[in-house]
Chain A
Amino acid sequence: MKPEAVYFYGTCVVDLFFPEAGLAGIELLRREGVRVIFPSGQTCCAQPAFNCGYHEEARAVARGQMALFPKPLPVVVPSGSCAGMMKHHYPDLFEGTPEHAPAVAFAARVHELTKFLVDVLGARLTDRGGPEKVTWHSSCHGMREMGLEAEPKALLSQLSNVTVVPLKRERECCGFGGTFSVRYPDISAAMVADKIADVAATSASTVLSADAACLLNIGGALEKTGAEVRPMHLAEFLWERTRER
C-alpha cells in the first residue's frame, strides 16, 4: 500500500559526495505522490564503527539517528549498505538493551530506495534521454543483505533508450568494504582494478550502482587511470533521464 509520506535517510556518503543522488531519490519519491520528510539531524547510520567492532560508539550514534524518525512511516535509504545496517544490524546492536524492541520496530520500517520504488510504489518511468550504454554494479550489501537484484534492473529496463551491458563478474565485490580499503589497501586495490577493467570491457559510458560508497571506490579508481566512464548513482540517472524539463 502506498504511504502518504516517507522519511528519507540520505546517508553520509551521499550527503558529502553524491548529494545530487540524494535529491534525485527524493524527487523520484515525490513524483509518485509521496510526501518526503528529511530530518535535519541525520548524520551516519553507524556502520563504520559497527563493522570495526566498536559497538559502544556505534550504539551511541545509532541511538540518536533512530530518534529522528518518531512517526510510524517508512524510512527510505538510497543505499543497500546503510539500509542493511539499519534493517539487519540495529537489532543486533541493541540486543540486551532497553532499546532492542524500538530498534526491531524501526528496522521493520527501513527500505532501500530502488526496491521501495518498484515493490511499494510501482514506479513507471518514461525515458526522455538520448541513447546511452551503461553498466550496472550490484553492491554486495544491496544484493546479499537487502535482497536487491531484480529491482534496479526492472527500473532500468523501463528506459527505452538505455542499453545495459552486464559486467562479467557482476556479483563480485568492488573492494571497498569501508575501512577494509585502507587497512588492506593492496588487496582492495587489486579488487577495484579488476572491477574497473570489467567496467572498461563493457565500453559503457556510465557505471551505475545503488550504493554511493562503491561509486566512490570505482569512480576514484577510474579517474586515477584517466578513464572516461562516469560513476553515477542509479537514482540520479533515473531522475535525470525521466524528469520533465
Chain B
Amino acid sequence: MSADGATPSAPDFHAASSKALLDAPLRANFRRAMDGLMAKRAAQFPDPAEWLALRAQAASIRARSLAKLPELLETLEKKCVANGLKVHWAETTDEANAIVLGILRGHGATRLVKGKSMVSEEMHLNDFLEENGVESLETDLGEYIIQLDHETPSHIIMPAIHKNKQQIARLFGQKIRDAVYTEDVDALTATARRVLRQKFLEAEAGLSGVNMAVAETGTLCLVENEGNGRMSTHVPPVHIAVMGLEKVVERLEDVPPLLTVLTRSATGQPISTYFNMITAPRGPGEKDGPREVHLVILDNGRSRIYSDPELQVTLRCIRCGACMNHCPVYTRIGGHAYEAIYPGPIGMILTPQTEGLRVRHELPHASSLCHACTEICPVEIPITRLLVRLRKEGAQPPAGSKVLDAGGGRSRLEDLAWAGWQAAHESPLLYRALGTALRLFGPLAPRGLPLLSAWTKSRTVPKRAKKTLHDLVREKGVPDA
C-alpha cells in the first residue's frame, strides 16, 4: 500500500524492520534493556497523582517556551553575547557544519572531543569533519563504542544499547591498541577512560549539545552521567555548543521541573550524575574553562514544523527517549531499522516532517496506535494523534498544508479501497449484504490475496459467525428505535 515515486536510495522501513526482527541477539538486547528502563522509570514515579502534576508542569513550561519562541531566541542571543559567547545561526545542517569547521580552522584545531549531541548527529558532523581533516572523537561511552564500530546511535539516550557486553568486549579487543578481551564492565570502562583522558588533554576544541538554553540568563544546560560533557566543554580552549532552536526556555526557574522529568523519564534517575550550567567563557583571573564559547543554533526544518499550530507540539520534546523505551514496535526492531536520526515514536512524527512525506510517508503507519508513547511522554506530546495527522497529511493533505511533501503517501489503490469501504459502510443494506457474502464466499477467497496472506502468515483466517449480531437481535426482538 505504498505510493510510487520513492527514490531507490530512499529508506525502506519495511525491509529494515523485517530484517531486524530476525536478529535474535538484537531483539534480546533491546527487550532486556527496555524492560530495565521501563522498570527504573516506573520506580521514579510511584505516585500517579505526582506524575500527572509533574508532567503537566513540564508540559506547560515547554508550551510557554514555544508560544514565545521567536522572542526567547532573540533574548537568548542578546544574553549570550552579553556573557561573552559568540552566537551563530544555521538554517541547514550544511551551514551548521561550515560554521563549526570555520571556528576550528580559525584556531588551527585538528582534534575535537565531543560530548553527546543528537543535533551533531543530524549534521553528520563526524563524517564532515573527518573529510575536512579534523579528528572528531565521541567521548560519551556509548557514542565512543558505536564510533569505533562505524555505527549510528540506535537510541537517543543510550546510543549503543543494541550491543551486549560480549559484543563490546570483542570490539574493544579488536579496535583499541593494548586492549585485551575482557567482559568485565569496569575493565572495559577503564580502557575507554584511559584512551579518552589523553584525548581530552590533547584536543584543541570541544563540542557539546544543549539540553536547555535559558533565555533570561543565557545559560546553556547540559545533562550527562560520565563527566565527559564537563571535560569536553571545560578542558579544551574552545567550546562549541550546538542546539536545535526549540531547546530554549524562558526562565532559570523553568529548568528544575524539566530536569526532574527528563532524568527520571530517560534513565530512571532522580538526577543525572553531572548537570552543567555554562554561562560564559573563562573570565579574567579565572584558572580554568574555555577561552572561547560558541553557540550554534540550528533550524533544519524546525521553523516549518513550528508554522503548523498542531504539529508544532512536536517541538516540545526534551529528548528523554521514554517513548522509545515504552514502544512495542521499537522494542522489537531497535533503532537502526528506522534509518533515521531519531528512531521510535518521536522519530516517527519528527522524521516525516523534516525529511518529507514523499520518502517517509510509511513511518507514521508503523505504529499500532497503542498510545503507550503518549501515555508516557513527560511533556504531553500527543504522539498518537500526530501520527494520525501525518497519515492524513500523506494521503489527504488539507488545502494549504505546510508539511514537507504533503500528499507524498498518496496511492490510487488505497484511495480506491477506502472509497469502497465508505460505500460499504454508508449503506446499511450494502453492509449487511456484504456481510452475507463474506459468510458465503469468504471461505472461497484465495489465500494468496495480499492482505489476507499478510494476516494468515501468523494467524488463522477470521471466521464469520453463522449469524451476525444484526440477525441475533432481530430474532430476540430487540427494538430498533
Residue ranges of A at the interface with B (Cβ–Cβ < 8 Å): 8, 10, 12, 14-20, 22-23, 26, 35-44, 46, 48-57, 60-61, 64, 92, 140-141, 144-145, 171-173, 175-193, 216-217, 220-221, 223-224
Contacts and interface: CB of A to CB of B under 8 A. Distances in A.
Contacts of A48: 421
- Chain B interface residue bracket vs A: 35 or more
Given A15-B470, A61-B422, A175-B368, A186 B479 contact: no
A23 B473 contact: yes
Interface in B85-122: none
Contacts of B14: 184
B457 interface: yes
B397 to A, nearest CB: 9
B451 A51 contact: no
A8 B369 CA distance: 25
Given A16-B438, A187-B21, A220-B455, 8 more contacts: A17-B465, A19-B467, A38-B478, A185-B454, A187-B366, A216-B462, A221-B458, A223-B460
Given A55-B396, A192-B458, A41 B428 contact: yes
B458 A36 contact: no
With a 10 A CB-CB cut-off, give which of A14, A23, A38, A171 has the most chain B CB atoms: A38
B465 to A, nearest CB: 5
A52 B426 contact: no
B237 interface: no
A53 B392 contact: yes
A192 B455 CA distance: 11
A105 B470 CA distance: 26
A17 B365 contact: no
Contacts of A26: 473, 476, 478
Interface in B419-470: 419, 421-422, 424-426, 428, 431, 435, 438, 450-451, 454-465, 467-470
B480 A16 contact: no
B472 A19 contact: yes
A16 B428 CA distance: 14
Contact of A140 (B372, B418, B474): B372
B454 A182 contact: yes
A187 B451 contact: no
A82 to B, nearest CB: 13
Contact of B371 (A44, A141, A176, A189): A141
A42 B428 contact: yes
A239 to B, nearest CB: 13
Nearest to A52: B391
B367 interface: yes
B370 interface: yes
Per CB-CB distance, the 4 closest pairs between chain A and chain B, nearest first, are: A177-B368, A220-B459, A53-B391, A53-B392
Interface string B339-374: 000000000000000000000001001111111101
Contact of A53 (B394, B474, B481): B394
A30 B465 CA distance: 23
B391 to A, nearest CB: 3
B333 interface: yes
B56 interface: no
A188 B435 CA distance: 26
A42 B432 CA distance: 10
Given A54-B418, A224-B459, A187 B329 contact: yes
B369 A16 contact: no
Given A37-B481, A51-B391, A144 B464 contact: no
Contacts of B176: none
Nearest to B422: A57
A191 B422 contact: no
With a 10 A CB-CB cut-off, give which of B458, B460, B472, B480 has the most chain A CB atoms: B458
Given A40-B470, A144-B375, A177-B367, A49 B454 contact: no
Interface in B32-62: none
B418 A57 contact: yes
Contacts of A186: 17-18, 21
B458 A224 contact: yes
A171 B422 CA distance: 33
Contacts of A43: 424-426, 428, 431
B239 interface: no
B388 A50 contact: yes
B480 A40 contact: yes
Contacts of A12: 425, 431
B328 interface: yes
A23 B472 contact: yes
27 contacts: A10-B473, A16-B438, A16-B464, A16-B465, A19-B465, A19-B468, A20-B465, A35-B479, A36-B478, A38-B479, A38-B480, A46-B425, A51-B369, A51-B391, A52-B365, A52-B414, A53-B390, A53-B393, A53-B409, A54-B392, A140-B369, A144-B370, A183-B365, A189-B458, A191-B328, A216-B462, A223-B460
Contact of A180 (B365, B374, B457, B478): B365
A49 B421 contact: yes
B1 interface: yes
Given A177-B368, A187-B329, A22 B459 contact: no
Nearest to B375: A144
Nearest to B464: A16
Contacts of B455: 181-182, 185, 220
B471 interface: yes
B370 A61 contact: no
A40 to B, nearest CB: 5
Nearest to B465: A19
